[in-house]
């Protein structure tokens, strides 16, 4: 296996990991919030943890899912001007956009890590064993993963139609 | 100059094709560097933007809508709509609009509405002799109702963009009549066109079939009762009601409708994660952008600017409507709500416009932008489903734009349309 196909496979696995972690987080949140309502009204024993746990998982799926969304090319972008200009100008525009993406990802990695470090020794009231810094870890991770996906696109090209990214359509029989 | 750095760099970054979410973040960084605000503060705001409990309503509403849409709900709502309007001239076009109204009670997405209703109705309409372009136009325009009729996750986004000070329950109720007026204006246009072009009537649904059809749709429509009943009775918050609706939607589609296949659940979650993560990233970065706008006092400057143009509330609303219609042609609804609300809301409040009323104006106005080229996600999906080109559709969209702008004018200049229902609330 050459270096390029190895990197492509690693990015496929990384994409899948981002989607699985985000998806599991979404399902868990969907279950624990109604559980909180049930415990409050039916069992009459309100739980304090579903709400903060849901918020922690939301930060996770926002930034890890956000990285996957970049690879899947689903982020909203204004492409009218890019499509209207000649191919040479388009290449310049898209190159500049990629450079800007690298800058914002580096910002997420650098300042996100700094935020985690600053809050590392504070703990969450509902989860005393859990560091506040850890809850913001998805920000630098999301930045790093997006950076890796940018490298993949610039080095190897856009993921092929056989990519795991496109296996999310409903069954044909539906 | 500092305003130019923030808004100008954002415009340039968008123009070169950078994703809007990241463009918001980078523009905020450029502005922070220019006015010497520590970048740590911008990062803190971005992280704040995604850890608000109220935000969770957005993924839940998207998930509940997706489960219902793919669990056979669209077909059942179309069957229900046929009971009421299929026998009128242009019946299938009217069924299309009414089904979208009903579907709006489940999903707040015009793209999901177009995909679900359009994939059933456009082929049916074409088979009965309606031109494909007309069928596509009815579908995409009808789907805009979903943005206003509760539960609309766009109302949640507007509430958050307004600083979380506007009640989601009020916004949900405020959307009912604007959604219905929008549907009525399209219905008027369809009736007129159907009579002029001689579109067919359908056979009336036999009375003996009606109870089964109503019961079939009833299980799905209960979702809106759970959501609105829960919120209005004070039993749930908007977020909790949306989560309960997800669980209910899943139980109905799996155990009552039995159309949904378990093996498709991972695919559905995959799609929902892609949609939701995209919106959440937008929200996170827009909070950083909004923070810089506040530091640069852009809302106050915008108010001062509009005051130099007019001191009349109605002229101001007309100007803002024109501005939003133009901007809406270039950008999607969610980013426009997140960017424009913090700028325009203080302006209109200064002129005495109710924030709930303004929310409806913005959502309807930017909703029309979803079906205008060059950037119209609903238009693109409709064209793909209807197998027609964007040029063909755009040529015949003008009467529909007229009907939609009429609805927009009514919603803009008759505040009671939006505010009467929320005024009945005691909280």
Buried b (16+ CB within 10 A) or exposed e, A40-54: beeeeeebeebbbbb
* pLDDT tens-digit series, residues B259-294: 777 788 888 899 889 888 988 888 889 888 888 888
**Locate tokens 């982020």: which residue?**
A75
CB B371 within 8 A of CB B397: yes
Both tokens assigned to B394: 């755009």
Nearest to A79 among B17, B59, B281 (CB): B17
Q: Per-residue pLDDT averaged across A58-80, rounded? A: 89
- Percentage of chain B lying above the pLDDT 70 cut: 100
Q: Which of A40, A78, A135 to mutate to test the interface with B (most CBs of B within 10 A)?
A: A78
pTM of the entire structure?
0.85
* Burial tier of B294 (Cβ tally within 10 Å: 0-12, 13-18, 19+): middle
CB contact under 8 A, A75 and B278: yes
Find the residue in A nearest to B38 (Cα). Answer: A111
Q: How many CA atoms lie within 13 A of A104 on its CB side?
A: 30
Q: Which string of DSSP letters, residue by residue, matches B272-283?
A: HHHHHHHHHHHH
CA–CA dist A92, A48 (Å, integer): 52
- The ipTM, to two decimals, is 0.93
pLDDT above 70 (res A171) = no
Q: How far is A38 from chain B, CA to nearest CA, in Å?
A: 10
CA–CA dist B362, B368 (Å, integer): 10
Of the candidates B328, B318, B373, which has an alpha carbon nearest to the alpha carbon of residue B351?
B318
Rank A82-86, A152-156, B199-203 by mean pLDDT and report only the highest.
A152-156
**Locate tokens 């997420």: which residue?**
A108
Q: How far is B219 from chain A, CA to nearest CA, in Å?
A: 19
CA–CA dist B245, B223 (Å, integer): 6
- Residue A123, SS3 per DSSP: strand
CB contact under 8 A, A78 and B14: yes
CA distances to B10, B67, B69, B377, B378 from B374, in Å: 19, 30, 27, 9, 11
CA–CA dist B154, A122 (Å, integer): 35
**Locate tokens 């950083």: which residue?**
B288
Both tokens assigned to B303: 């108010």
Q: How far is B301 from chain A, CA to nearest CA, in Å?
A: 26
- Percentage of chain A lying above the pLDDT 90 cut: 57
Q: What are phi and psi of B353, to 5 degrees?
A: -85, 135
Where does chain A have alpha helices with state H?
A: 3-41, 50-71, 80-84, 87-119, 132-135, 138-155
Q: Per-residue pLDDT averaged across A161-169, rounded? A: 83
Of the candidates B63, B174, B107, B164, which has an alpha carbon nearest to the alpha carbon of residue B417?
B174
CA–CA dist A56, B137 (Å, integer): 42
CB B394 within 8 A of CB B137: no
Q: Which of A63, A67, A69, A167 to mutate to test the interface with B (most CBs of B within 10 A)?
A: A69
CA A112 to chain centroid, in Å, comes to 14
Q: Per-residue pLDDT averaged across B166-190, rounded? A: 94
Q: Does B26 touch chain A (CB under 8 A)?
A: yes
Instruction: Supply the pLDDT for residue A170.
Output: 67
Strand partners, A123: A131
CA distances to A98, A110, B14, B143, B251 from B113, in Å: 33, 41, 28, 5, 21
DSSP B302: H
Q: Tell me the chain B residues in contact with residue A54 when contact means C-beta distances shorter than 8 Å.
A: 53, 56
Instruction: Supply the pLDDT for residue B427.
Output: 54
CA–CA dist B16, A90 (Å, integer): 8
Q: For residue B159, name the pLDDT band (cuts at 50, 70, 90).
A: very high
- Residue B312, SS3 per DSSP: coil
Q: Tell me the chain A residues in contact with residue B115 when contact means C-beta distances shorter than 8 Å.
A: none
Where does B128-209 have alpha helices with state H?
A: 132-142, 153-161, 168-174, 176-197
* Burial tier of B100 (Cβ tally within 10 Å: 0-12, 13-18, 19+): buried
CB B172 within 8 A of CB B105: no
Helix count and strand count (H, E) for chain B: 23, 0
* Burial tier of B52 (Cβ tally within 10 Å: 0-12, 13-18, 19+): middle
CA–CA dist B337, B283 (Å, integer): 10
pLDDT above 50 (res A43) = yes
CA–CA dist B11, B3 (Å, integer): 12
Of the candidates B378, B395, B371, B406, which has an alpha carbon nearest to the alpha carbon of residue B134?
B395
Instruction: Supply the pLDDT for residue B426.
Output: 59
Find the residue in B nearest to A61 (Cα). Answer: B277
| Omega of the bond leading into A6 within 30 degrees of 0 (cis) | no
Instruction: Supply the pLDDT for residue B181.
Output: 96
CA–CA dist B187, B181 (Å, integer): 10
Q: Does A174 touch chain B (CB under 8 A)?
A: yes
* Burial tier of B25 (Cβ tally within 10 Å: 0-12, 13-18, 19+): buried
CA–CA dist A146, B26 (Å, integer): 15
CA–CA dist B382, A79 (Å, integer): 19
Q: Tell me the chain A residues in contact with residue B380 when contact means C-beta distances shorter than 8 Å.
A: none
Q: Does B14 touch chain A (CB under 8 A)?
A: yes
Q: Which of A19, A20, A33, A39 to mutate to test the interface with B (most CBs of B within 10 A)?
A: A33
CB A146 within 8 A of CB A65: no
Average model confidence (pLDDT) across chain A? 89
* pLDDT tens-digit series, residues B43-99: 988 888 888 788 888 888 888 888 887 888 888 889 999 999 999 999 999 999 999
* pLDDT tens-digit series, residues A96-146: 999 999 999 999 999 999 999 998 888 887 788 888 888 889 999 999 999
Interface of A with B in 110-139 (CB under 8 A): 111-112, 114-115, 135-136, 139
Interface of B with A in 51-70 (CB under 8 A): 51-53, 55-56, 59-60, 63, 70
Interface of B with A in 110-129 (CB under 8 A): none
Which H/E stretch holds residue B334?
A: helix B333-350
Instruction: Supply the pLDDT for residue A130.
Output: 84
Q: For residue B190, name the pLDDT band (cuts at 50, 70, 90).
A: very high
Q: Which string of DSSP letters, residue by residue, matches B40-95?
A: HHHHHHHHHHT--GGGGHHHHHHHHHHHHHHTTHHHHHHHHHHHHHTTSTTHHHHH
């Amino acid at each position: 296996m050459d270096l390029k196909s190895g990197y492509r496979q690693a990015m496929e696995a990384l994409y899948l990991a981002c989607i699985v972690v985000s998806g599991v987080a979404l399902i868990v949140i969907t279950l624990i919030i109604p559980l909180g309502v049930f415990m409050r009204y039916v069992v009459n024993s309100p739980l304090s943890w579903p709400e903060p746990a849901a918020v922690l998982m939301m930060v996770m799926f926002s930034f890890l899912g956000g990285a996957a969304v970049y690879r899947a090319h689903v982020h909203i972008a204004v492409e009218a001007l890019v499509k209207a200009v000649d191919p040479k100008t388009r290449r310049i525009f898209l190159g500049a956009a990629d450079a800007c993406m690298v800058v914002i990802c580096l910002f997420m990695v650098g300042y996100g890590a700094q935020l985690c470090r600053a809050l590392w020794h504070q703990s969450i009231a509902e989860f005393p064993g859990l560091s506040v810094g850890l809850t913001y870890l998805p920000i630098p991770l999301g930045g790093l993963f997006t950076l890796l996906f940018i490298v993949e696109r610039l080095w190897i090209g856009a993921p092929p139609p056989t990519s795991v990214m496109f296996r999310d359509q409903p069954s044909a029989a539906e | 100059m500092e305003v130019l750095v923030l808004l100008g760099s954002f415009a340039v970054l968008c123009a070169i094709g950078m994703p809007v979410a990241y463009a918001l973040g980078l523009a905020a960084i450029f502005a922070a560097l220019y006015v010497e605000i520590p970048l740590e503060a911008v990062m803190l705001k971005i992280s704040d933007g995604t850890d608000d409990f109220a935000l969770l309503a957005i993924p839940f509403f998207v998930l509940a809508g997706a489960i219902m849409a793919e669990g056979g709900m669209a077909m059942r709502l179309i069957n229900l709509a046929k009971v009421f309007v299929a026998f009128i001239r242009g019946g299938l076009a009217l069924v299309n609009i009414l089904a979208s109204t009903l579907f709006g009670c489940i999903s707040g997405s015009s793209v999901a509405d177009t995909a679900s209703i359009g994939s059933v109705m456009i082929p049916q309409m074409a088979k009965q002799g309606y031109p494909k372009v007309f069928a596509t136009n009815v579908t995409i325009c009808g789907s805009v109702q979903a943005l206003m009729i509760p539960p609309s996750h766009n109302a949640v986004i507007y509430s958050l963009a307004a600083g979380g000070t506007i009640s989601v329950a009020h916004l949900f109720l405020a959307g009912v009549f604007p959604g219905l007026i929008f549907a009525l204006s399209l219905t008027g246009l369809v009736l007129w066109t159907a009579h002029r072009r001689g579109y067919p009537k359908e056979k009336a649904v036999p009375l003996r079939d009606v109870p089964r059809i109503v019961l079939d749709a009833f299980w799905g429509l209960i979702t809106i009762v759970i959501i609105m009943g829960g919120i209005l009775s004070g039993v749930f918050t908007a977020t909790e009601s949306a989560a309960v609706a997800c669980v209910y939607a899943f139980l109905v589609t799996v155990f009552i409708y039995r159309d949904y296949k378990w093996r498709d659940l991972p695919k559905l979650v995959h799609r929902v994660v892609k949609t939701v993560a995209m919106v959440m990233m937008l929200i996170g970065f827009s909070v950083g952008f909004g923070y810089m706008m506040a530091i640069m006092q852009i809302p106050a400057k915008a108010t001062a600017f509009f005051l130099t143009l007019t001191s009349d509330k109605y002229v101001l609303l007309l100007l803002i409507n024109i501005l939003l219609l133009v901007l809406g042609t270039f950008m999607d609804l969610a980013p426009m709500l997140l960017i424009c609300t913090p700028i325009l809301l203080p302006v209109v409040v200064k002129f005495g416009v109710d924030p709930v009323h303004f929310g409806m104006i913005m959502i309807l106005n930017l909703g029309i932008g979803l079906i205008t080229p060059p950037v119209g996600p609903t238009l693109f999906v409709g064209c793909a489903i209807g197998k027609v080109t964007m040029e063909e559709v755009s040529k015949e969209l003008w009467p529909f734009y007229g009907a939609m702008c009429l609805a927009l004018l009514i919603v803009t200049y008759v505040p009671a349309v939006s505010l009467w229902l929320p005024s009945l609330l005691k909280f």
